[in-house]
């Protein structure tokens, strides 16, 4: 046994290491590596498409919003000098906001144009309810300089649970399959919730605070349109779109449609039942595409 062969073994090893370090990449990153590029929108011929303009009405007295105790996160609590209020039921002048509407039964839709953004600001998700097309980039940003995690629990898609500890961080994710709705939560701030609707076509919208919504560039034809609300469930309507015309549709929710109103994310009594811990707290709502 002489030492000489060990020199050649060492030289081979060194060459291998240098090649590996120089040429290697960190391949196989998690799905959703950000590109931030717009995918090309299919050309839309204005002569063949119309618009859907809708409103979501709300009858009856809505439950009063409950206060969210943000005292554990001083930086966020200070953004709400009058106290932060829950967002599940937003009723103004008889109209219901944060209702997700989409056309059903549509095939052969163009690919998505652009990105959708979900921001975290002052310990809230903005927007609270949003839609994204299958494989469309969802850019998640953090405007708070503190830790949020974005924990999604879909049933049809692969979920993710990522952290963003600093302001300015950005992560791009995609969902491959249609799913209405995917719950999103932050585990560090238990009151933070959002819902993402993944649709295979671009014909969806979320009603604003004034209860109205618009879906543009819809090819002429007859459709079913479905509305979803986290407390009051789903309902459908029919709509006919004419080329270069505007179709009107209205949904009528009412206060007696919900189950017991449970403020999301606020822990209630935690009981020790016979099967372990039972928590009376709702993290999901009745109905709506689980």
Partner 1 sequence: MATIVAEATGQAILHEEHGQSFLRKYIFSTDHKVIAIQFLFTTLFFLMIGGLLAMLMRYQIAWPDRTLPGGGILPETMVSSGYILPEFYNSLVTMHGSIMVFFAIMPMLVGVYANYLIPLQIGARDMAFPRLNMISFWLMVPAGLMTLASFFVIGGAAAAGWTLYAPLSGRPDLSGVHLGQQLWLMSLVVLGLSSILGSVNYITTVINMRAPGMTWFRMPLTVWALFITAILALLAMPVLSAAGIMLLFDQTIGTSFFLPEAGGQPLLWQHLFWFFGHPEVYILILPAMGFTSEIIAAGSRKPIFGYKAMVWAIVAIAFLGFIVWGHHMFQSGMNPTLGLSFTISTLLIAVPSAIKTFNWMGTMWRGNLQLHTPMLFAIGFVAMFAIGGLSGIFMASTPVDIYIHDTYFIVAHIHYVLFGGSLFALFGAIYYWYPKMFGRMMNETLGKVHFWLTLVFFNLVFFPMHGLGMVGMMRRIYDATGYQHLQGIEDTNQLITWAAFGLYASGFLFAFNFFWSLWKGRKAEANPWSATTLEWQTPSPPKHGNWKEIPVVYHGPHEFSHPDVTDKDWLAQNERPDVTSPAHTGPAPQPE
Partner 2 sequence: MPVDWSLPPNLSTQGVPIDTLFWIILILTGIAFVLVEAGIVWFMIKYRGREGRRAHYTHGSTRVEIIWTAIPALVLAALGVYSGTVWANIKSDRSFPDDALTLRVVAKQFEWNITYPGADGELDTGDDFTVRNQLHLPANEPVVVRLEAEDVIHSFFVPELRVKQDAVPGMTIPVWFEATGTGDFEIACAELCGLGHYRMRASVTIHDPADFQSWHASQASGS
Which of 28, 81 has the CB closer to partner 1? 28
Q: Do residues 226 and 236 lie in contact, with contact meaning Cβ atoms separated by under 8 Å?
A: yes
Applying CB under 8 A, which of residues 106, 111, 139, 169 lies at the interface with partner 1? 169
- Indicate whether 278 belongs to the interface with partner 1 (CB under 8 A): no
From the list partner 2, partner 1, none, partner contacted by residue 72 (C-beta under 5 to 8 A by kind)? partner 2
- Indicate whether 75 belongs to the interface with partner 1 (CB under 8 A): no
The HSE-up count of residue 97 (CA atoms within 13 Å, CB side) is: 13
Beta strands 49-59 and 246-254, pairing class: parallel
Q: Do residues 53 and 89 lie in contact, with contact meaning Cβ atoms separated by under 8 Å?
A: no
Q: Strand pairing partners for 125?
A: 120
Q: Do residues 280 and 271 lie in contact, with contact meaning Cβ atoms separated by under 8 Å?
A: yes
176 by DSSP, 3-state: which? coil
- Indicate whether 168 belongs to the interface with partner 1 (CB under 8 A): yes
Nearest to 253 by CA among 127, 97, 66: 97
- Residues 125, 138: Cα–Cα separation, whole Å: 14
- Using CB under 8 A, count the residues that bind partner 1: 33
- Indicate whether 21 belongs to the interface with partner 1 (CB under 8 A): no
From the list partner 2, partner 1, none, partner contacted by residue 190 (C-beta under 5 to 8 A by kind)? partner 2
From the list partner 2, partner 1, none, partner contacted by residue 171 (C-beta under 5 to 8 A by kind)? partner 1
- Indicate whether 152 belongs to the interface with partner 1 (CB under 8 A): no
Both tokens of residue 221? 């034809």
Applying CB under 8 A, which of residues 38, 170, 248, 280 lies at the interface with partner 1? 170
Chain positions contacting partner 1, by CB under 8 A: 1-3, 5-7, 9-10, 13, 17, 26-31, 33-34, 147, 153, 159-166, 168-171, 276
């Amino acid at each position: 046994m002489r030492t000489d062969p060990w020199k050649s073994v060492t030289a081979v090893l060194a060459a291998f290491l240098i090649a590996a370090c120089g040429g290697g990449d960190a391949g196989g990153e998690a799905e959703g590596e950000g590109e931030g590029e717009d995918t090309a929108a299919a050309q839309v011929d204005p002569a063949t498409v119309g618009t859907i303009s809708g409103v979501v009405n709300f009858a009856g007295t809505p439950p009063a919003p409950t206060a969210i105790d943000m005292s554990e996160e001083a930086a966020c609590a200070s953004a709400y000098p009058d106290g932060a209020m829950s967002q599940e039921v937003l009723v103004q002048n008889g109209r219901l906001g944060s209702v997700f509407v989409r056309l059903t039964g549509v095939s052969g839709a163009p690919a998505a144009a652009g990105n959708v953004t979900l921001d975290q600001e002052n310990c809230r998700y903005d927007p609270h309810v949003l839609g994204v097309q299958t494989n469309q980039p969802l850019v998640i940003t953090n405007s708070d300089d503190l830790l949020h995690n974005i924990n999604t629990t879909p049933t049809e898609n692969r979920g993710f649970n990522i952290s963003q500890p600093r302001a300015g961080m950005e992560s791009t994710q995609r969902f491959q399959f249609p799913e209405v709705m995917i719950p999103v939560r932050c585990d560090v701030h238990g009151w933070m919730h959002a819902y993402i609707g993944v649709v295979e076509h671009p014909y969806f919208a979320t009603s604003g605070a004034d209860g109205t919504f618009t879906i543009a560039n819809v090819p002429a034809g007859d459709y079913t349109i479905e509305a979803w609300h986290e407390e009051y469930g789903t309902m459908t309507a029919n709509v006919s779109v004419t080329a270069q015309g505007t179709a009107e549709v209205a949904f009528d929710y009412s206060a007696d449609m919900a189950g017991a109103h449970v403020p999301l994310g606020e822990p209630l009594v935690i009981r020790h039942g016979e099967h372990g811990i039972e928590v009376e707290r709702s993290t999901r709502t009745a109905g709506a595409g689980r």
